[in-house]
Each structure stands twice: as structure tokens, then as C-alpha cells.
Amino acid sequence: MKVLVVNCGSSSLKYQVLEMDNSTLLAKGLVERIGLDGSVMKHEKIGMDKYIVEAPMKNHKDAIGYVLKALTDKEHGVVSSMDEISAVGHRVVHAGEKYAGSVLITEDVMNALEECIDLAPLHNPPNILGIRACQELMPNTPMVGVFDTAFHQTMKPETFLYAIPYEYYEKYKIRKYGFHGTSHKYVSMRAAALLDKDIKDLKIVTCHLGNGASCAAVKHGVCIDTSMGFTPLDGLIMGTRSGGIDPAVITFISEKEGITADEVINILNKKSGVAGISGVSSDFRDLAEAEAQGNERAALALKMFAWRVKYYIGAYMAEMNGADAIVFTAGIGENDIDMRKQICSDLDGLGIELDEEKNNVRGEERIVSKDSSKVKILVIPTNEELMIAQDTVEIVSNL
Ligand code: ADP
């Protein structure tokens, strides 16, 4: 069964076609500058050179039109007609409290996603546009929605509520939602497979450390807590996001700097994190280089990042009464050998012992803890597209 996976941003669209009979990637690509001058599609049939199409694409429907043409192209395509695509899996950021898992997209689902626009004003509108465009161009193909928030819907009220007047939860649904759910779910399942254990017998702390970063506590296959909150601003220190801070800082900066609360939030999202502390970059490779050249603020930013991850590992081990495994994933988690070392240093009191030699790995699945380590440490490259495709197959197979 072939599945198309679509991930729409406001002016971009990423896609993959996977053959799910043997979980192989057939083609992938990226469309950029949708609705802007200089729209371009970069398509790649696996094993072949990139096929680049520059053409005006005024909206997501135009972009998907070009994607479908590329997928059926004689030379660069992977299917002879779109009828060979059995289903489309769409990444959608926010499903609010409505869905705790992936669902077949119906008009009811579309209405629910529209209702969540308030909660994810930057992400849900392009996600919705992408689904509508696919529905128009592939009217007979089932579509599945896979939500970033869904995996975290198993959190209990004592975990997901903020201690503010309850009526704000009732009126506006203000609560912790959590994001990166597809990634946390995927790597926790892979961890169980690598450890050759049933996920129902495991307590896992998953650390998705990319530009955006979050940790999750996955107890017996179910998420019980995660570090992002009402929005992706909360929790860990990130590339340009502050992570959790005392909210009183917002009004204080606003008054001192004569800027609005919105502007402060923008600073917390775009000019803070390791970029804000170091004044160097949000990219951990740049920070490591600056640190090596003696830049103290770059070193401080890296220390702060590691400290905050450690803090969540400790918190989640307390919440789960221990852990069997800690998983590192995403750009930093998969590739940054030194950062994994910093995070795992001095945790032997919690039974966490990194093996420095095994830790010498980038971008491949591996157990990197010492044999004596009570808590196993794993590096697992995330694969959100595969997870989306797997959920999609599961749902359309039951139709
Ligand atoms: P996102 O998907 O959130 O944009 P990624 O998961 O792709 O982010 O992670 C991107 C980050 O990963 C980069 O900003 C960089 O800091 C980090 N990264 C990627 N490769 C390396 C590497 N080899 N060493 C250290 N950090 C890396």
C-alpha cells in the first residue's frame, strides 16, 4: 500500500511517498515560497538526482498539483497514476481536546480543526488548506489527520491544567496540550523494539531536541506529561525560544522597554533561547565552535540547555517512579555527542550512565549507555513521516 504524507506550512509543503508493505521511502520533496515570488518544488525520487521545478504557485492547491505531476512523471515519478496512492496522511498541529489519536478526515473533523485555529493560528490554517487542496485533487482517496497534540491527550487534569481560575479552562480551553507528539510516540515505540520489550512494561523519558525541543514521560506506552504547554513556548530552552519563565517577566519587560506584551512574546519566541543567551546563533554546531574558541556566553547557553533537559529527566523519573530508558532524538538529540554527554553527566545517582565510546554516534539507532546502567540511554532518529504513514495505513485498513 502506497501512502502520501503531506505536511503544509504557511508558505511551504513537505511530502513523502512511502511503500508501506515494506516501509520504504519512494520519493520525497519540498515546495517553498507558495504564494510568493519564486515558488519552487524540489522533488527527489529516491536514488535519483533532485528534480527542481520553478513555476508560479499562488496557493497550496497549485503546489499539490505540481507534486502530483512529479509523482506521476515518467522519469521522476513513483506511480503511473495517483490511483496507486491508497491514502494521504496529513500532519496537523492542533486538534485541541477533540482527538487522542489519528482519524479519518470527515467534514466533522474539518470543523473541529477550524475550531482549533484560535489555539494554533500559524499552523492550523495552512494544514487545513493542504487537506482541502488534496481533497479537491484526489476526491476518491481517503485522507487521515495525524495530530501533534494527540499523543499527549492521555495526560491527566492534575498534569495538564494550569493553576489559574478554572473558568479560563472552561471558557477558553487554556491548558497544557504538548506538541511533537508524533515524534515522541514514534521514538518510544522504536525504543521498546530496540530493547526487545513490550512498551506496556516500560517507563521512558523521550527527549526531542531540535530547533523546537520537548521532553515527554511515556509510561507503559502512554504519555503522562510533556514539557511544551498551551503553546510550544513552554518547557525546555530552545534554539530561539525561552522555554518556561516566570510570566511576570513579560509585563516587566513590556513596561521597561515600552513594548506590548505581544512584542515581548515575540522576543521570547524568536530572540531568546540559546541564541538570546549566546548572542551567537541558534545552531548548536555554531555554539560548539564558539565555545571551542573561548566564547563564554556560548558555553553558558549550552550549559543552560543541558541543565534544563536534566531538570525534566529528573522530574519525569519522579512522576513515573523511575525510568527504564531515556531516548534522544531530533537534530541535537541525534547528532550532538557533546550535548548528550553534558545532559547525562552526574546522573549515576539515578542509575543513568552514558558510555562515552558508544555515544560516539550520529543519526543512527543505538543504545549508548554502559552495560551497567540501570536506565538505558538510546539514540533514535525520529521519523514522523513514517509514523504518520503507519497511522494512516492502520486507519484506512479498518474502513
Ligand atoms: P527542527 O525540525 O525543529 O527545525 P531539527 O530536529 O532539524 O529541528 O534540529 C535542528 C538543530 O539540530 C540545528 O539547529 C542544530 O542545532 C542541531 N544539529 C544538527 N546537526 C547537528 C550536529 N551534527 N551537531 C550538533 N547539532 C546539530
Alpha carbon distance 82, 134 (integer Å): 11
For residue 362, give the ligand 1 atom closest to its CA. Answer: 23
Residue 343 has pLDDT above 90, yes or no: yes
If you average pLDDT over residues 300-311, what whole number do you get?
Answer: 98
**Rounded distance from Cα 254 to ligand 1 centre (Å):** 31
Alpha carbon distance 132, 61 (integer Å): 8
pLDDT attached to residue 10:
87
Pair (133, 209) in one structural domain: no
Instruction: Please name the residue whose Cα sits nearest to atom 7 of ligand 1.
Output: 331
Residue 394 lies in a domain: no
Instruction: Please name the residue whose Cα sits nearest to atom 21 of ligand 1.
Output: 335
**Which of these three, 114, 147, 180, is where a domain ends?**
147
Contacts of 359 (CB under 8 A, 6+ apart): 337, 340, 341, 368, 377, 379
Instruction: Please name the residue whose Cα sits nearest to atom 24 of ligand 1.
Output: 336
How many Cβ atoms sit within 10 Å of the Cβ of residue 345? 12
Instruction: Please name the residue whose Cα sits nearest to atom 19 of ligand 1.
Output: 331
Residue 250 lies in a domain: yes
Residue 325 has pLDDT above 90, yes or no: yes
- Pocket of ligand 1, candidates 180, 285, 327: which has the most ligand atoms within 8 Å of its Cβ, to mutate? 285
**Rounded distance from Cα 331 to ligand 1 centre (Å):** 3
If you average pLDDT over residues 248-256, what whole number do you get?
Answer: 98
Residue 172 lies in a domain: no
Residue 334 lies in a domain: yes
> pLDDT tens-digit profile of 85-120?
999 999 999 999 999 999 999 999 999 999 999 899
Residue 174 lies in a domain: no
If you average pLDDT over residues 368-372, what whole number do you get?
Answer: 98
3-class state of residue 343 by DSSP: helix
pLDDT attached to residue 132:
96
If you average pLDDT over residues 135-158, what whole number do you get?
Answer: 97
Alpha carbon distance 388, 390 (integer Å): 5
Q: Number of folded domains in the chain?
A: 2
pLDDT attached to residue 103:
97
Comparing CA positions, the residue from 305, 289, 334, 333 lying closest to residue 242 is 305
**Rounded distance from Cα 142 to ligand 1 centre (Å):** 34
> pLDDT tens-digit profile of 178-202?
999 999 999 999 999 999 999 999 9
pLDDT attached to residue 295:
98
Pair (14, 130) in one structural domain: yes
If you average pLDDT over residues 259-288, what whole number do you get?
Answer: 97
Contacts of 231 (CB under 8 A, 6+ apart): none
Residue 242 has pLDDT above 90, yes or no: yes
- Pocket of ligand 1, candidates 305, 329, 335, 379: which has the most ligand atoms within 8 Å of its Cβ, to mutate? 335
Pair (312, 378) in one structural domain: yes
Residue 39 lies in a domain: yes
Q: Measure CA 326 to chain center.
A: 17
Residues of the chain with pLDDT > 90, as a percent, come to 97
For residue 288, give the ligand 1 atom closest to its CA. Answer: 25
Pair (227, 129) in one structural domain: no
Within 6 Å (CB) of ligand 1, which residues are found? 210-212, 239, 282-285, 330-332, 335-336, 362
**Rounded distance from Cα 232 to ligand 1 centre (Å):** 17
Pair (215, 127) in one structural domain: no
Residues of the chain with pLDDT > 70, as a percent, come to 100
Pair (269, 337) in one structural domain: yes
pLDDT attached to residue 131:
96
For residue 283, give the ligand 1 atom closest to its CA. Answer: 16
Alpha carbon distance 107, 42 (integer Å): 32
Pair (46, 114) in one structural domain: yes
Q: What is the CATH number of the domain that holds 248?
A: 3.30.420.40
Q: Which of 62, 73, 83, 148 is catalytic?
A: 148
> pLDDT tens-digit profile of 277-301?
999 999 999 999 999 999 999 999 9
Residue 168 lies in a domain: no
Pair (131, 229) in one structural domain: no
- Pocket of ligand 1, candidates 183, 187, 283, 339: which has the most ligand atoms within 8 Å of its Cβ, to mutate? 283
- For residue 148, indicate whether it is catalytic: yes
If you average pLDDT over residues 302-319, what whole number do you get?
Answer: 98
Residue 370 has pLDDT above 90, yes or no: yes
pLDDT attached to residue 91:
96
Residue 267 has pLDDT above 90, yes or no: yes
Residue 166 lies in a domain: no
Ramachandran region, residue 234 (left: φ > 0; alpha: ψ -120 to 50; beta: rest): beta
Pair (250, 348) in one structural domain: yes
Pair (202, 303) in one structural domain: yes
For residue 212, give the ligand 1 atom closest to its CA. Answer: 3
Within 252-386, strands assigned E span: 325-329, 366-367, 376-379
pLDDT attached to residue 122:
87
Which residues span the domain enclosing 355? 197-384
**Rounded distance from Cα 305 to ligand 1 centre (Å):** 14
**Rounded distance from Cα 209 to ligand 1 centre (Å):** 8
Residue 395 has pLDDT above 90, yes or no: yes
Its pTM stands at 0.95
Which class for 247: exposed (0-12), middle (13-18), buried (19 or more C-beta within 10 A)? exposed
Average pLDDT, the chain: 97
Residue 307 has pLDDT above 90, yes or no: yes
- Cell matching residue 109: 473533523
Pair (218, 120) in one structural domain: no
CA distances, 381 to each of 92, 326, 332, 386 (Å):
21, 13, 10, 12
Pair (202, 300) in one structural domain: yes
